[in-house]
């Protein structure tokens, strides 16, 4: 952090300047500043959704580009991720409406070999906000881990996340094992993550590919409703 940036008083910035400053602070991995900026934007009547997308996710995109281009390295990106999580922790209770009867249950995890969890955590928040009960089993999850969670929690939906081209094929390993065990049709399987696309979702045998957290929270209730209607009319 430069001396100059130490002198910046976030609450005195205009909203536009504050959002730009938050992008810089995310880049520099400044968790406390991100938490403060998040609180200020909420105070200025920004919705939690808007803070998430315009201040945090947009800032993280810049981090991603510089990580890809070799300008930022793993330790710096970890600091950015940590700062992002600080902001997300403030937004979480606002995104998750309390007291709503769950409309369904989802088990979600990041697949084996993959430790990225920011996107998955956003999906968890948005799904909770949409009225789902979500059991987040974390990162680096094997077939056995997913199966144990399905057995224990009996969700409507299994969600899997992967951020690496090397780990995304593991989703098919899980789904193939579900088919082999005769449990595939007991669950709606949703997959997501930056390197995936519709075609990949179809190829691995998922019920749907989810582009982002908001779309996941839209698709999930639709698929649950279709499924319940199909069961009722069977
Ligand atoms: Co990683 N990393 N990383 N990384 N990292 C990427 C993914 C990469 C694209 C960067 C790059 O080169 N541009 C690249 C992958 C390249 C590839 O596979 N083609 C990469 C690499 C190479 C690596 C390492 C191999 C680097 C190394 O060690 N040499 C290593 C791998 C570690 C491992 O997993 N085994 C690694 C490590 C890390 C950190 C630990 C430093 C850190 C992760 C910290 C953490 O997650 N706690 C990290 C980060 C932060 C990133 C970037 C910069 C940001 C990812 C992120 O959080 N995005 C990323 C570059 C990028 O994507 N821009 C990169 C923000 C998030 C909100 O978006 O995750 O896409 P996203 O989630 C979205 C959607 O995809 C969707 O909804 C989310 C919210 O809207 N979604 C789902 C995601 N999961 C879903 C599940 C669903 C539904 C929707 O289920 C139903």
Closest approach atom of ligand 1 to CA 78 = 41
Question: How high is the mean pLDDT of the chain?
Answer: 90
Q: Grade residue 52 by pLDDT with cuts at 50, 70 and 90.
A: confident
Count Cα atoms within 13 angstroms, Cβ side, for 188: 21
Distance, CA of 23 to CA of 95 (rounded, Å): 21
Query: Ligand 1 mean position to 195 CA, how many Å?
Result: 9
Residues linked to residue 210 through DSSP beta bridges, in sequence order: 192
Distance, CA of 108 to CA of 149 (rounded, Å): 9
Q: Find the largest Cα–Cα distance for the chain.
A: 68
- In order, the DSSP letters of 99-164 are TPPPSEEEEEEEETT----HHHHHHHHHHHHTTEEEEEEEEEE-HHHHHHHHHHH--SEEEEE--S
Q: Is residue 175 within 6 Å of ligand 1 at its C-beta?
A: no
- Pocket test of ligand 1: the residue of 91, 111, 119 to mutate, having most ligand atoms within 8 Å of its CB, is 119
Query: Which residue's CA is the closest to the ligand 1 atom numbered 19?
Result: 165
- Pocket test of ligand 1: the residue of 59, 66, 67 to mutate, having most ligand atoms within 8 Å of its CB, is 67
Res 172 pLDDT > 60: yes
Query: Ligand 1 mean position to 163 CA, how many Å?
Result: 5
Q: What is the value of pTM for the model shown?
A: 0.82
Res 98 pLDDT > 50: no
Q: Is residue 122 within 6 Å of ligand 1 at its C-beta?
A: yes
Res 130 pLDDT > 90: no
Q: Grade residue 197 by pLDDT with cuts at 50, 70 and 90.
A: very high
Q: Grade residue 226 by pLDDT with cuts at 50, 70 and 90.
A: very high
Res 133 pLDDT > 70: yes
* Closest alpha carbon to 127 in 152, 155, 150: 155
Q: How much is the pLDDT for 24?
A: 97
Which one has a higher pLDDT value, 89 or 189? 189
Distance, CA of 196 to CA of 121 (rounded, Å): 17
Asked which of 55-69, 76-90, 183-197 is least confident by mean pLDDT, the reply is 55-69
Distance, CA of 116 to CA of 122 (rounded, Å): 12
């Amino acid at each position: 952090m430069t001396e100059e940036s130490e002198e910046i008083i976030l609450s005195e910035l205009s909203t536009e300047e504050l959002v730009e400053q938050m992008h810089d602070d995310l880049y520099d991995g400044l968790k406390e500043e991100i938490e403060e900026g998040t609180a200020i934007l909420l105070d200025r009547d920004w919705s939690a959704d808007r803070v998430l997308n315009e201040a945090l996710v947009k800032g993280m995109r810049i981090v991603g580009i510089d990580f890809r281009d070799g300008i930022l390295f793993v330790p710096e990106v970890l600091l950015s991720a940590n700062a992002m999580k600080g902001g997300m922790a403030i937004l979480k209770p606002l995104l998750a409406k309390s007291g709503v009867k769950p409309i369904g249950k989802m088990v979600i995890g990041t697949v084996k070999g993959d430790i990225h969890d920011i996107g998955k955590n956003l999906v968890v928040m948005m799904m909770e906000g949409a009225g789902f009960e979500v059991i987040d089993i974390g990162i680096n999850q094997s077939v056995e881990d997913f199966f144990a969670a399905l057995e224990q929690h009996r969700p409507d939906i299994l969600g899997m996340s992967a951020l690496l081209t090397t780990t995304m094929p593991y989703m098919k390993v899980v789904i193939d094992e579900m088919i082999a065990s005769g449990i595939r049709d007991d669950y709606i399987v949703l997959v997501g993550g930056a390197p995936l696309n519709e075609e990949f979702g179809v190829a691995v045998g998922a019920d749907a590919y989810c582009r982002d957290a908001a779309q996941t929270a839209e698709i999930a209730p639709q698929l649950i409703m279709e499924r319940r209607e199909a069961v009722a009319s069977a």
